[in-house]
Structures are given as structure tokens and as C-alpha cells.
Structure 1
Amino acid sequence: IFFKIKCQGHQQQCPPPSGNQSLNERRLCKGITKCKKIARLWKRKFSTRIFFQYSILLDLLLKDEFESYLRFILSYEKYVKDWILNEMLEHFSNEATTNAFEEQHIKSSIIWITDAVDEAKQKDCVNLRKFVEDICKELGDKLIIPQDALGAFMILNNADWEQFALSLKESVTEMGHSLTEIFKKKQFFEKLQSLHLKPQNELFTKLIGCGRQCPFCKSPCEAGGKEHTEHWASLHRPTGLGKYRSVFSSKLVTNICSSLVITDRNFRCHETNYTSHPYKLYKKIFRAWKIVPDVSLEASNYWKYVMTKYNDDFAKAYKAKSAKIPEAWKNVTYKQAAESLKESFSIK
């Protein structure tokens, strides 16, 4: 797409200031990450970090697939981003909804540009360069124009800037129509694939944060955002889900981190060069993690149900022996697991 600029009796073509890319990258991506305003169901799933985590864990329970749990635990960030992507594809599968969504942002961008042109016209313009710079200032961060793209306009520095302003506004309107037609011809998945800023990555950062997992049980960090120095999780799981096993029996461990860090037991892992290290002194190995010690805590019914049901599967996947499941865990039902999930995340 090109701006058709008519100045000094000549018609020249200059590339637009990343109009297509800026719309495609910033507006579409930002809009999708805020699309909780569009659908009530989506709004609920993506409204808070707590409800987001709840939605994923409930979906895992409903799927009832061991492989999904395994990928969720061992490839957490990838699994969650793929899950977000699938939710987006399902939500935006309605072509009319997608087109209306894009048209809204195209119209907004056109208004920003034309308003910026009108504002710049009110200032003292000595040449085209000054006029274009004023337009950029008016746009601010609404529509970023790379400096290298501005160079193309400078060959017309002595042109009539008022004629340029008129042609620019006409070209922006034409570009809006062209973009609308281009977007209509593309499938939503194609549009997502063409983005450098991936909406699923943006949502992951906003709702999950750093994506770090407990070194023992693989529970995700709940500190929020990326700008924190200490990781923590309020809901720890049986450490056997994180591949931990008894040094003596090779059986997966059912204890949770909160109780283990106040025992005299040891652990081994890659970070300790597979030599024994006291749980009590875990901070010497995992300095960024804070695990609040509490001997009274135990795994939720949700994870008791999951580990009991897939005990042999986890053992096989981790090349370990099946855990010795406490008798009480064997009585936890699917319904109790689902209710436990609601209780853990305070969902009513």
C-alpha cells in the first residue's frame, strides 16, 4: 500500500509510515489482549490471573488426558500459550466478529492520523519536514512511525505542505479501505501467524507473569509481572509431579514442598549435581524462591485426584516407580476434585 502524494505538479509514491504493520501489530495485538470486553465467557476466563489459572486447570480436568497434564507440568509456558491461542481461534472463528473488530481499530487509526494532520496544520510550518515532525508528535504513541520511514518524505521537503496534507488525508482514507479488504480475505489464524507481537505472549505476560515454576513441584510463580526478584506459589503440589522421587525406593513423592522444607529430608537434582542437599537449606540452591514452611499443609483434592489417577503414567514418563498413594487419596472423586479447584481459587 502506498501514499499517493501530489506535490509541485508531480505524482510520487512514498511508502506509508508502517501503516499496515502498525495496525496489524499494535492495534490488533492490543485489541485481542483486551477482547475480554467482547465476550462474557472470554471475559471471565481472562479477567484475572486467578480465574485464568482456574480455567486452565478445570479444562485439564474436563479433558481427562494424561498427556495434557504432562505437557502442562513439564512445558508449562508453551502449553499455556498454546491454550490461549486455541481459545482465541475458537472465540474469533466468527468471521463477522473478527471483521467488525478490525474495522473498529482501522477507523480509530484513521481518525488519529487525520486529527494529527489537522492539529499540525494549526502550527507554523516552514517546510514539509517540520510539518511531518509535527504530525508524529501529535500521534505520540498511538501510531509509531519509524524514523527511517520518514526519510522517504524528505525528497519533497520543498513541496507545498498544505497540498501534501490534503493528499495525505485522502491516502489514509484509501489505505483504510484497502486494509479492510485485505483483512477480510485472510483467515484469523493467518493474521495471528503474521504478527511479530504474538497476542498469546502478551496475554501470558499479563496474566501469568514470569512463567517460572517451583523447582520441586512445578507450581507456577504467583508474584505477577516480570519485575520481581522473589518467586512464590501459594498452592504447592505433590513433588512427585515435578519428577521428585525417593532416593532409596525410587518411588514418586506425594509430600508437598511446604511440609518438606521443614523436615530433615534431602533432595537431589541437576542444580545440586545430583548430590544430596537438605530441603531446609533449599534457599542455598534456589535463592529466588520463597516456600513458606507449614507442616499442616497438604495437597489439594484436585492434585490428589490427578496423582492417584495417573500415578503409573507419571512413573512411566519419569522413569521412576509409582508413588505409594495414601488410602484417603484413593477416595477422592472427580466431583470433589472439581470442588477443590473452586475452593483453592475462591471461585463461587
Structure 2
Amino acid sequence: MSQISCQGATSITSFAVFLCDKIEPALRKAVFERMAKHIAEDMKNQFPDFRGNRANLEVCILRYLAEQENFDDFKKYLTSPKQFFEEYIERRVKSHLDGNGRLKEFLDSSLNVLYGNILPAVSLSTKIVKDRKDREDKISLWLDEFCRELAEVINLPRSELKGIEHQEVTDIEFLSSAMAKSLTDLRNRLMKELADADLSSFSRQPHTILAEHFSGCWEKCRFCGAVCSNTMQNHDGDHQVVFHRPQALTGFKWHGTDHLVIDICSSLVASDCTFRFHDDQQWTPYRTYRDAGPPVSTWRILPDSSMQAYWKWFVSHFRTQLEDLYNKKFQGKGEIPEAWQRITKQEALSELDRL
């Protein structure tokens, strides 16, 4: 580590420059960490999507999917829900920040707040140390106090400052003004450097922080693909959902036909129907579905014939795409009821919002 050997004012100035060089990477890192958290909080405040729990976010995503009417997006949501949630959040964050100077606002705000915490640390350390007649190693004591004051603001390890702790700086008050000057230079330098920052500059992305707020169990029902609604990952007890979906969404068909199953799991467990996942597997009555073992045995599926209008609309609207995707047909026992075909998108969304 380089040593500072010059004396007097030059020594103090060199000390301040050296210390600010050490502060710079820690401050830069802290700026981005603070910005990421601030942006995530701002998204929660600004958008209804992110104000509630994951169930609320899912309603917003289903609304978005219906409005876009893009089957490929639906397919990604149905097959990889966790990935789709994360991409949706990332897209909303980027859209919020792009093109309106908002990222620069967050940058300026974060840098100013952190800078505003460092300056008082300089003053307080100076105040504590300047009248200590009992200590000759005032600069070492000043560094102790300075690092302690900054501990909650930036990560500046005291051990990295060993090379300057033995400097004979007697004019502590001049040190304070020299630090103020060097910190102003540092702030201006960072402001200029970070003016062109974008989301790629973050080590921890704002959308990642936001996504963590909506983490939980992502286990999918083996029959219909609905995602477990438990808000805890690796939770105790069974997986469950409020509403199951038509099994056609995962390509289930009636045995011996190419007819898709439009029934939902929660109505089938009250029926006399049986199922199997592979040709070599035994048939299992839906009533005793747990006998089939994992993964279905880890689910709690209560008898319930309630089906969301949303999925009735979806099946009717994307009938052809679903048939092409699974190379099966909505015929026979899988014939789409006429009543489903009369459901409008707005009716489906209105029910979704009420639920």
C-alpha cells in the first residue's frame, strides 16, 4: 500500500485524496445498491401490479395477457410461470425507467443522500478527535471514528486504511476542509461518470429485488398446470390453489381419443373418472388421486366445480392454437360448451378482478 511522506498542508491534502480514492468504489457500489432498492420501492408505490401479494400480481399479468392476445406469451406463462413473472416485472421496470430521465433522478438522489451522510461523518470525527490531548495518534483515532460513522452508509473496511493511519496530521480542522474539498471532487466525478449508467450497471437488478417480494412456491399442478398459491418456498403441508384450470391447458386427453379434457381437476376428484400419466402406469381413480404418488400426492385438491370465466374464454378464443400445440381436438367429451364461447374478454376480466 502506498505511503504518504510529504508534510504539512501537502500531506493533509494527499491524505484526503488517498482516502477519497478508497471511498470511491465503496460509494459507487452503495449508490447502485440504494438505487436498486429505491427503484423497487418506487415501482410498488407507482403501479397497482406491485402493491399487493403474488395473487394480485397474477391477476394483473392475466389481464395483460388477455389484452395482448398473444398466444406465445400465454404459452410461456403456462409452461414457465416463474420465468414469465420475472420477465414481466423486468419489462415493467425497464419501461418505467426508459426515456424519461427517471434513472438519472434516482442516481442523483442516491448519490446526494450518501454524500450527505459522508460529510457529517467527517465533521463528527473531527469534532471528537481535535480536542483529544491524550492521544498522539490522532489520525488513527480519526479514521476509527470515520469508519464507524460510515458503517451504515458504505462498506469502507478500516483495515484498508492502514497505510495512512500513522500520518502526523496535527491540524485536524484543516483535514476536515481538505476532506470536504476532495469529497466534492469525488461527487462531481461520480456524477459525471454515472450520467450514462443504465440497468446493466447494477450488480443487483431492481427487478430482481422486486421479484423477491413475490417469491413463494412455484410448484405446478401435474394435471392442469396451476401454480401453488403458498407464499413460502419449501412450505410445510400440501400444495394447493384456489382455482384449478381446464386440463386441456397441459394437453390432457381422454383415453383412446385425441379429445382434449376441458374439465378441471377439482371437479374430476368428485367424479368416477380415472387417470394415468404414462402407458405403463396403473389407472388411478381421481377420487383417490394421492394413491398415484408424487407429485400429485403432494397436492390437496378439494372437490369444487367452480371454474374461472377467464379460462373458459381463453380455451374458446385460442381453440385452434391449443389444438395445434397438442395435436389434439376439442371434440367429443372435450367439446367446448356454447356458453363458454359467448363469454367476452371483458366479462372474463371483470370476474377476475372481483375474485
TM score, norm. by length of structure 1: 0.79
Letter paired with 2:338: E
One-letter amino acid matched to 2:68: K
**TM-aligned CA distance change 1:101 to 1:194, over 3 Å:** closer
Q: Which of residues 49, 71, 91 is equivalent to 1:66? A: 71
**CA 1:37 to 1:87, structure 2 compared with 1: closer, same or farther past 3 Å?**
closer
- Paired residue type of 2:354: E
- Corresponding residue SS for 1:18: helix
1:146-295 superposed matches below 5 A: 147=157, 150-160=158-168, 162=172, 167-186=178-197, 191-226=198-233, 228-230=235-237, 231-269=239-277, 276-279=283-286, 280-282=288-290, 284-286=293-295, 289-295=298-304
Q: Is residue 2:98 matched to residue 1:93?
A: yes
Deviation, 1:254, is 1.6
User: Is 2:67 aligned against 1:56?
Assistant: no
1:264-303 CA distances to partner (integer Å, 9 max, x unpaired)?
Answer: 5444448x986644543338313795434023x3321111
Residue 158 of structure 1 deviates from its aligned partner by: 0.8
Q: CA deviation at 1:58?
A: 0.7
Alpha-carbon separation, structure 1, partners of 2:194 and 2:226? 40
Q: Which amino acid aligns with 1:244?
A: F
Distance 2:234 2:141 in 1: 39
**What's the C-alpha RMSD, in Å, of the aligned pairs?**
3.3
State the alpha-carbon separation in 1 of the partners of residues 324 and 63 from structure 2.
Answer: 24
Task: Provide structure 2 residue ranges, at least 5 long, that are not aligned to the other structure.
Answer: 130-134
Contact 1:305–1:333 (Cα < 8 Å) also in 2: yes
C-alpha spacing 1:123/1:248, structure 2 compared with 1 (3 Å): farther
Structure 1, 200-209 or 61-70: larger mean CA deviation: 200-209
Alignment of 1:75-90 (within 5 A): 75-90=80-95
Give 1:67 deviation, angstroms.
1.0
Match of 1:308 in 2: 316
Q: CA deviation at 1:164?
A: 6.0
**What code does the residue aligned with 1:102 have?**
L
For structure 1, which runs of at least 5 residues remain unmatched after alignment?
none
Change (3 A) 1:256 1:205: farther
**Kept after mapping to 2: 8 A contact 1:6/1:167:** no
Any idea what SS the aligned residue of 2:84 has?
helix
Q: TM-score, normalised by structure 2?
A: 0.78
| CA shift for structure 1 position 63 | 0.5
Does the C-alpha gap of structure 1 residues 200 and 218 become closer, same or farther in structure 2, counting only changes over 3 Å? farther
Compared CA separation, residues 157 and 71, structure 1 to 2 (3 A): same
Residue of 46, 51, 57 corresponding to 1:47: 51
Whole-angstrom CA distance in 2 between matches of 1:243 and 1:127? 75
Q: Is the 8 A contact 2:289 2:296 kept in 1?
A: no
After alignment, is 236-245 or 71-80 more displaced?
236-245
Indicate conservation of the 8 Å contact 2:44/2:51, yes or no.
Answer: no
Cα gap change, 1:117/1:234 in structure 2, threshold over 3 Å: closer, same or farther?
Answer: farther
Match 2:347 to one of 329, 336, 344: 336
C-alpha distance in 2 between matches for 1:216 and 1:6: 75
SS, match of residue 222 in structure 1: coil
Alignment correspondent of 1:110:
115
Q: Are 1:214 and 1:289, in contact at CA under 8 Å, matched by a contact in 2? A: no
Alpha-carbon distance in 2 for matches of 1:128, 1:318: 74
Q: Verify the 8 A CA contact 1:48 1:207 in the aligned structure 2.
A: no
Measured against aligned partners, the alpha-carbon deviations of 1:210-253 in whole angstroms (never above 9, x if no partner) come to 44433332223322254633443213221221333333324322
Q: Which has the higher strand share?
A: 1
Amino acid across the alignment from 1:51: N
Code of the aligned partner of 2:254: S
- Give the counterpart letter for 1:286 in structure 2: P
Q: What count of residue pairs does the alignment treat as equivalent?
A: 327
Greater C-alpha radius of gyration: 2
Q: Is the 8 A contact 1:308 1:325 kept in 2?
A: yes
Q: Per-residue CA shift, 1:191-210, capped at 9, x if unaligned?
A: 21232312222212213434
Q: Specify the SS of the correspondent of 1:34.
A: helix
Q: Which moved more, 1:319-328 or 1:304-313?
A: 319-328
Percent sequence identity is: 21
Aligned to 1:31: 38
